[in-house]
Structures are given as C-alpha cells and as structure tokens.
Structure 1
C-alpha cells in the first residue's frame, strides 16, 4: 500500500494541473460542440473568393484544380461551369468561390480540435491527452484504497466506461 504522503502528493499535482488545464478544457469543449454542428450553417458566414485559373478548363479538370473538398460540377454551358461552390468562366479563367466558414477565432478553435501531426498544434493535443490520462490515474491515487470512497469511485468509473463503450458501439 502506498503511503499517505504519496496520496497527498498526487492530490497536490492533480489540483495544480487541473487549474492549469481548466482553460484548455474550456477551449476543447467549445470547439468540440462546434464540430458537432459542422454540417450545418450554425455560426457560419458566407465568404466569397475569386481565383485566377487557367482558361479553358473542362468540367472534369476543374474540381481537381480547385482542390476544394466536396466540390462538384452542377451545370456546364459554352462559357461557364457552375459548381456547388461557385462558378468558373472558361474564357477568362476566373473562378468565383462562395463558401461558408466560421469567424476567425472559431475557425482557429476548430483547427485546434482537428490538428494532425502535420500541424504544430498537435503537440498541445498530445500534452492534453497525456494530462487527461494523468487525471484518470491520479483520481484513484488521491484516496487510500481501503476507504469506501475509493471502492465507490472504482464502481462509478467502471459504469462510466461501460456506458461510453455502449454509446460508441450502438450509437454509431
């Protein structure tokens, strides 16, 4: 059995790291909620962009040149190609793209949540994940294992894990 001194040390580290991570958790919570509504236009506004492309592109070439996820040709005439994200003039090569996006601050928060190893933000995501694992472990080291609170905590954590697995398995 670990000494009461060890348990008190873990309580101290848990408390100070918890205060530090409270701000990070708030940002992750808000960006996570925003990501739930990503297919909708919730909090998004329209942005129009004009790109100069090569003239004379075909309907088959245009989506590849634009490199916009989900873009597809809707209609084509002799002079224009209409896409689901805008319009392209065959003669001038000018493409007018209209997309909906979050305001700058919210867009940055969404990018934080979706960061991959190609982004410098992934270090923050790794630190956050490791810190959350520390919280999981230290939550059980804050109490002496013989106490009823410890045993009840294990039961509640087990119920939480089972509920999460059930939601993931049957909810998707």
Structure 2
C-alpha cells in the first residue's frame, strides 16, 4: 500500500524543525536554567563551601595591589597591626608576604556549569554559547511560523510574543 506523498509546506517544515531542535535543547536549557538560578544567588553563599588558602606573595603590597595579587575583589581592610593587614576573610603579612584567607567556592560541577554563562570571547566555549543562543532564537521565531497567518493560533502567538517583549522591557526599567 503506497502512502500519498505529503506536501512539504513551510508550516510543516517549521513544525518538524521546531520539534527536533526543541528536543535537542531540553537538556541544554535545563542545565542553563539551573546554573542561572545558582548565579542569581552567588552573593548569598548558596551551595558554596569554604576553602582556606595559604600562599606567599610579594612583600609590602598595598590593599589594591593585594587584591590583584590574590585575584580577589572588594578587599576591605579592617585593621593594620604589627605589619599585618587584616581584611575581610583573611590577613596578609606585609613583612613576609604570607597571606592567609578563606574563599567561598562552588563545588567543581557547579563551577563548570556556571563557566558556560561566563565564557569570554577568547575562549573556545563561547562558540557553544553563540550556537545555543541562535538555536533559542530559531525556536522562538519558528514557533510563529508553525501556524498560518490569520488563524486564531497565529494571532494568539503574536499576542503572547508581544506580552513577552513588553515584560522584558519592563524588567529592564525595574532592574
């Protein structure tokens, strides 16, 4: 028994591509969503553990030089006594160059997931981020082409898309 050949319309093609790419993107999107939620709470210590660091660096550094040498941000000097700079979560001996401080760090796997959000353009990983973003754009736009213009479903899609754009604009002004 022969099947009649189906006419490949733009709507049908978009539905197929949208479905297949959508299934591919499920795992990636879940991973990005979870790591994005963790990044929202990065200043609260959520999922972080303490890591004590002892290191020797150059002697006689100022607090700004100390930030750069230890690769830390926002060092707040609390007090200076007997050649030792006490700063938030640590201390630095100006005479010997010995620094001792505590870091708040994510577990290894969480750090790897978060690195996908933060990949610089000099990293090869940024191509993954670009591809992911382009596929999400395709999914967003192809959903509009899954229905014929003028139908109730198409008008509903345009209305919901417009509401999403309006929400994004509002969030830009609120934040």
**What's the CA shift string for 1:27-86, capped at 9, x where partnerless?**
110011111111101111101111111234345643343231112322111231111131
| TM-score, reference length from structure 2 | 0.88
Q: Aligned equivalents of 1:58 and 1:161: distance in 2? A: 48
Out of 46, 55, 61, the residue aligned to residue 57 of structure 1 is 61
> Does residue 138 of the first structure (1) align with residue 145 of the second (2)?
no
Q: Aligned equivalents of 2:112 and 2:36: distance in 1? A: 12
Comparing 39-48 with 79-88, greater Cα deviation is found at 79-88
Matches within 5 A, 1:12-161: 12-59=16-63, 61-161=65-165
| TM-score, reference length from structure 1 | 0.89
Aligned residues: 169
Alpha-carbon RMSD across the aligned residues, in angstroms, is 1.8
Name stretches of at least 5 consecutive residues in structure 2 with no aligned partner: 1-6
**How has the CA–CA distance of structure 1 residues 131 and 38 changed in structure 2, closer, same or farther, with 3 Å as cutoff?**
same
The residue matched to 1:70 in structure 2 has which SS?
coil
Q: Report if the CA contact (8 A) 1:4-1:144 is conserved.
A: no
Q: Report if the CA contact (8 A) 1:63-1:72 is conserved.
A: no
